[in-house]
Structure 1
Amino acid sequence: MFSFKCNTLINAQLAGSLQSLTVTRPDIAFATNVICQHMHAPTTYDHQLLKRLLRYIKGTLHYGLPLSKGELKLTTYSDADWAADMDERKFVSGFCTYLGSNLILWSVKKQATVARSSTEAEYRALAAATSDVLWLRRLMADFHVPRSQATSIFCDNISTLTLAHNPVFHARTKHIEIDHHFISDRIRHNTIDVSHISSLDQPADILTKPLSATRFSSLRDKLTIC
């Protein structure tokens, strides 16, 4: 019993350390998020996942995020998974924001409530991304960085884009009306510009779902991790 409690404590400490590491390693953000959700009562499978992630980190210790000079233009990519959580069926939201070619902000977060459709889940992810974009724009204003253009936000769900641009509601979307007004107001004021992107080109996929090795490596490159 003592050995089991000791291993559980070590696992929790390692998971906490991994959370700190995601500050500079967005490629492990999704895996760390999944592992941390089960640290209150870890199983053997959770321990195996933790060891696998540690092996990946050991093999990529030299990886990091480069910083380079360039245009001070914000670009954001927003995404959500399709109820991959088998326990609660809650969607995971993810977004990443670039300043020029530099990745400066990313987020992985399980949504608070169960969404009724992929459109709703993607829409709530878009609302979360928009909130952080507004914060970044205000921060840039404090540094007197010119912001003449709307910030581009890319989403791979066409229904979500339609909902963002169309103020007409029906019975299936009444419960997300508040988020809609928040996003559509920013579109009307030219603060953000929401556009479609192919799922194959969506870098935020790496923040919301498990991927094959090839797909993971491709999206890791898009996050500029090298």
Structure 2
Amino acid sequence: MYQLDVSNAFLHGDLDADIYMKQPPGFVNSATSNLVCKLRKSLYGLKQALRQWFNKLTGFLQSQGFGFIIGNNDSAIQSLLRQLQSHFDLKQLGQISLFLGIQVTQSNSGYFLSQHHYASKLLRDAGYADCKSAPTPAVPNRKNITSSSQPFADPTLYRKLAGSLQYLSITRPDIAFATNQVCQHMQNPSDLDFKALKRILRYIKGTIDHGLPITKGPLELLTYTDADWAADTSDRKSISGYCTFLGWTLLTWTVKKHVTVAKSSTEAEYRSLSAATSEVIWLRRLAEELGIPQPSPTTIYCDNTSAIAIAKNPVFHNRTKHIEIDYHFIRQHINTKAIQLQHIASKDQLADILTKAFTVSRFTELHSKLTIRSAND
């Protein structure tokens, strides 16, 4: 896996509209100070800059027959790199090792992704570099009593740390649920909210070298989905969580609070199942484009028998009409054999770790099953 850097990438973009700017300070023509400059090329700071650079690069790659910058023919890839260098001011950085704060370690078994340096900086900036570690990122059965807690004295600090935790969860799905919880209170954080945030920092302290492995194995997609009904005691909205594996590699994961209140646990589980189905359909299409077709239906594991029964039942009942769109969406993909639903015992439901906090023993069990581990393991 090669890493490249294009110098002044945004300056390569071609503008497809007339854009004007004021004469920049230090370069104002005193004789024509009332005039403005018409841009002939893209500049950093333009709203269009990112899109125009993307169009420029995409257009070039497509002209070379590429849909993705990926392949298993090393000579063809090297040829592409030479052509890229002839069109852009390009630096070849060799095998990937660090990308946007994500460390990539290569071994005979695959890759290992971690954010050790980023996590260390986060702890230093927060003043927790020498804090005592915590065994889990969240306390089980924590009640939402923010309204009775004092407002946190430094909301800006809270938002900065919460945002950093969001970025850290790119390689740390084990903190995804806890981070989602603290990020819901960024507008008006309380002392209790900051206490929950500190718990995550203390957990990171003890697991700072943990990350995700990308290993060789089967190329079949597999998804787990779960929901915690009426989990938020402040508004009784549910939490959905689902994760997808490609063989033994954890590929995607999501934690999301529902927009509306579910009337039953079955409805909450069904909404989570619908969202997971959308993710699976997208991943199947992406895998097909990457030359990894999925000939068999993708199995989605759900621990709610009622939700599975509704999806498989051709008779639509009035008591479930409020989830009619989700119902038809899931049934359509069952009928086309894009997915298949399978019941799983709650104790084996890996997506549980994305919807609620657990005791140390249960959290440790789910943590290992998500393949999160230390770089030294």
**1:19 maps onto 2:143 in alignment:** no
After TM superposition, give the deviation of residue 82 of structure 1 in Å: 2.3
**1:36 maps onto 2:173 in alignment:** no
Q: Distance in 1 between matches of 2:365 and 2:171?
A: 18
**1:79 maps onto 2:226 in alignment:** yes
Secondary structure of the residue that 2:154 maps to in structure 1?
A: helix
Q: Distance in 1 between matches of 2:249 and 2:348?
A: 17
After TM superposition, give the deviation of residue 83 of structure 1 in Å: 1.2
**1:139 maps onto 2:323 in alignment:** no
Secondary structure of the residue that 1:64 maps to in structure 2?
A: strand
Secondary structure of the residue that 1:145 maps to in structure 2?
A: coil
The aligned runs of 1:1-226 (5 Å cut-off) are 7-226=154-373
Secondary structure of the residue that 1:55 maps to in structure 2?
A: helix
Secondary structure of the residue that 1:65 maps to in structure 2?
A: strand
Secondary structure of the residue that 1:66 maps to in structure 2?
A: strand
After TM superposition, give the deviation of residue 111 of structure 1 in Å: 0.8
After TM superposition, give the deviation of residue 5 of structure 1 in Å: 7.8
Secondary structure of the residue that 2:309 maps to in structure 1?
A: helix
After TM superposition, give the deviation of residue 146 of structure 1 in Å: 2.3
- Deviation per residue, 1:136-189 (Å, 9 max, x gap): 001011112121111000000000000011121222101111111100110111
Which AA in structure 1 matches 2:188?
A: A
**TM-align CA RMSD:** 1.1
Secondary structure of the residue that 1:83 maps to in structure 2?
A: coil
Shift of the 146–118 alpha-carbon distance from structure 1 to 2, 3 Å rule, reads same
- Deviation per residue, 1:53-95 (Å, 9 max, x gap): 1010111011111111011000000000021201110000000
After TM superposition, give the deviation of residue 210 of structure 1 in Å: 1.3
Q: Distance in 1 between matches of 2:275 and 2:296?
A: 20
Which AA in structure 1 matches 2:274?
A: A
Q: Distance in 2 between matches of 1:139 and 1:132?
A: 11
Q: What TM-score do you get using the length of structure 1 for normalisation?
A: 0.96
Q: Distance in 1 between matches of 2:229 and 2:246?
A: 28
2:152·2:190 contact (CA, 8 Å) conserved in 1?
Answer: no
Which AA in structure 2 matches 1:197?
A: I
| Larger RCO, structures 1/2 (Cα 8 Å, 6+ apart) | 1
Moved segments of 4+, more than 2 Å: none
Shift of the 43–181 alpha-carbon distance from structure 1 to 2, 3 Å rule, reads same
2:284·2:293 contact (CA, 8 Å) conserved in 1?
Answer: no
State percent identity of aligned pairs: 57
Size of the aligned set, in residue pairs, is 223
Q: Distance in 2 between matches of 1:143 and 1:198?
A: 33
Q: Distance in 1 between matches of 2:355 and 2:349?
A: 11
Structure number having the greater helix percentage = 1
Shift of the 205–5 alpha-carbon distance from structure 1 to 2, 3 Å rule, reads closer
